[in-house]
Structure 1
């Protein structure tokens, strides 16, 4: 599963990608096209920032759940091998 999200710059409308684990409240990133600094804060009125924060949170949650399923699957396989 890809761990990056799309972010749209308010100034130049360029879309770029960044890793979901980075995009959290308090993070800032420079647009690679127009070089404006985008601040990722919950209280910002920019819809692109809010969308990016929500997408990042949802992707982090999905990645965490997928990792949990891998651990459960590994444990089940180990149990099956040792119980036979």
Structure 2
């Protein structure tokens, strides 16, 4: 599962991805295109920032639930692909 969320820059409208574990209240990130600093705060009036925060919160919840479900089952290796 991909652990990143889309963030839309408030200045240049460029869309880039950042890890959901990083995108939290108090986090700041530079836009890779226009280099403006984006501040991720819960009280932000910018819809792009609040959308990124809520999607990151939801993704972190899903990731925690997957981790709590237990270890993943090992994938079966096809007979022709084994290396000894």
> Structure 1 length normalisation: TM-score?
0.82
Cα RMSD, aligned residues only: 1.3
Q: Could you say which residue in structure 1 is the equivalent of 2:78? A: none
1:40 equivalent in alignment to 2:40: yes
Corresponding residue of 1:55 = 55
Total equivalences in the alignment: 73
Deviation at 1:69, TM superposition (A): 1.2
Q: Secondary structure at the match of 1:38?
A: strand
Gaps of 5+ in 1: 75-84
Distance in 2, Cα, partners of 1:63 & 1:51: 18
Q: Cα offset for 1:10?
A: 1.0
* Greater percentage in helix: 1
Task: Tell me, yes or no, if structure 1 residue 26 matches structure 2 residue 36.
Answer: no
1:59 aligned counterpart, secondary structure: helix
Residues 9-58 of structure 1, C-alpha deviations (whole Å, 9 max, x = no match): 01101000000000000000000000000000001100000000000000
Q: Which runs of 4+ in 1 moved over 2 A?
A: none
Structure 2 regions of 5+ residues with no counterpart? 74-84
TM-score (norm 2): 0.82
